[in-house]
Amino acid sequence: MARADVKPTAASAIKKPGARKKREILFYSLMMALPLAQFAVFYIGVNVNSLLLAFQRFERGGDSFVGTFVWNGWQNFASLFREIATQTTIRNVLVNSICVWGLCTFITLPLALLFSFYIFKKMPAAGFFRFSLFLPSIIPAIATVIMYMYFVERAMPALNDSWQGLLSNPDTQFVTVLFYNIFYAFGSYVLLLTSSMNTVDESTLEASELDGAKGGKQFLYIIMPKVYPTLSTFLILSIAGIFANQFSLFSFFGTDASLRVATFGYYLYTQTLKATYAEYPRLAAMGLLLTAIVVPVTLSVKTALERLGPKE
């Protein structure tokens, strides 16, 4: 009679790990299927389609609205260069994008660096500054935009009847939106830079103080090398998105922002919203041209920052 407590054979013991491995592979495959499909469709598919559209044109079929895309060679790029040479629209938004990037980067980053060091050194009201500066970053962007709009459009004119709303006045629109973007990004910069500074060993700071290095010397020779990777990341990402930054204009003005304040990111977004099939190739060519400009610049800046950075 067979015993009930017979132990599994060596063969069955070998099969079990194999079956478990297959289940793990199946589980992993099912979990990764959706994100990989989204990446394939919404990133690879969209970008490949945009690349092809840049070399095509839309031809309508007869009197109907049905048409097809046919190859057009480099004609879209030739038309785009003629538009840049003869019209001011693209040049204006290009200048605005560069100005916004330069002002937001070279005003926000240095100020955030100084405030982060102030908070890191636990100076008076450091906790209050950290909370108040980071607060806009955890509130939904549209909520902060609405509060800011009420302040500059209603609260400030209510203080003086002769004052006009800052967003309604064309002469102050750009500066008003610029101030919002600087302040909105400020909190995130401060939080990340402060976190980098907090990785500095306390014993290193104490030793430097014993050697007479305080304040500015600590900042230059101890803190800066520690936060340099974070700073370089901010710079690289800002350059990579120089033509994609909408400057929060859609939140302020919808699709009605003036070209005096419009950036390339906002211009491309609003043009795509209103575009017909015949206009898609032009926008695709514009996006491809901007990519061809930004990619080498971003890689060059990344290489330069790596060479200039502190060495181990």
pLDDT of residue 302: 93
- pTM higher than 0.85: no
Q: Which one is predicted more confidently, 177 or 188? A: 177
Mean pLDDT of the region 172-185: 88
pLDDT of residue 132: 78
Q: SS3 helix, strand, coil % of the chain, rounded to 5?
A: 75, 5, 25
Within its chain, how far is the Cα of 48 from the centroid? Answer: 22
Q: Using the predicted structure, report yes or no on whether residue 48 has a pLDDT greater than 60.
A: yes
pLDDT of residue 289: 92
pLDDT of residue 7: 53
Tell me the β-bridge partners of 70: 57
pLDDT of residue 1: 46
Count CA atoms within 13 Å of residue 120 on its CB side: 28
Q: Using the predicted structure, report yes or no on whether residue 177 has a pLDDT greater than 70.
A: yes
pLDDT of residue 294: 93
Q: Three-state SS for 54? A: coil
Q: Which of 14-18, 99-103, 186-190 has the highest mean pLDDT?
A: 99-103
What span, in angstroms and rounded, lies between the C-alpha atoms of 184 and 197? Answer: 21
Count CA atoms within 13 Å of residue 1 on its CB side: 3
* pLDDT bracket for residue 3 (50, 70, 90): low
What span, in angstroms and rounded, lies between the C-alpha atoms of 246 and 100? Answer: 10
Q: Which one is predicted more confidently, 64 or 165? A: 165
Assess contact for 167 and 173: CB atoms under 8 A: yes
Q: What is the average pLDDT score of the chain?
A: 85
Q: Three-state SS for 82? A: helix
Q: Using the predicted structure, report yes or no on whether residue 8 has a pLDDT greater than 80.
A: no
Q: What percent of the chain has pLDDT over 70?
A: 92
Residue extents of the structural domains in the chain: 77-308
User: Which class is 77-308 in CATH?
Assistant: mainly alpha
Mean pLDDT of the region 294-304: 94
Count each helix (H run) and each strand (E run) in the chain, helices first.
14, 2
What span, in angstroms and rounded, lies between the C-alpha atoms of 262 and 250? Answer: 10
Q: What percent of the chain has pLDDT over 90?
A: 29
267 Cβ neighbours under 8 A, 6+ residues apart: 89, 90, 93
What span, in angstroms and rounded, lies between the C-alpha atoms of 277 and 293? Answer: 26
Return the minimum-mean-pLDDT range out of 7-16, 18-27, 181-190, 277-286: 7-16
Return the minimum-mean-pLDDT range out of 62-66, 74-78, 99-103, 236-240: 62-66
The conformation of residue 60, written as its DSSP 8-state character, comes to E
Token output for 29: 């495959």
What span, in angstroms and rounded, lies between the C-alpha atoms of 284 and 56? Answer: 10
Which of 21, 221, 200 lies closest to 120 in space, CA to CA? 200
What are the Cα distances from residue 295, in Å, to 26, 101, 231, 237, 242?
38, 16, 19, 11, 11
Q: Three-state SS for 257? A: coil
Which of 222, 216, 232, 227 lies closest to 194 in space, CA to CA? 227
CA 90, 95, 97, 98 dihedral sign is positive
Question: pLDDT of 245-295, one tens digit each?
Answer: 888 899 999 988 988 899 999 999 999 998 888 899 999 999 999 999 999
Q: Count the residues in the chain.
A: 312
Assess contact for 115 and 219: CB atoms under 8 A: no
Neighbours of 311 (CB within 10 A): 5
pLDDT of residue 259: 85
pLDDT of residue 228: 92
Single-letter amino acid code for the residue at 203: S
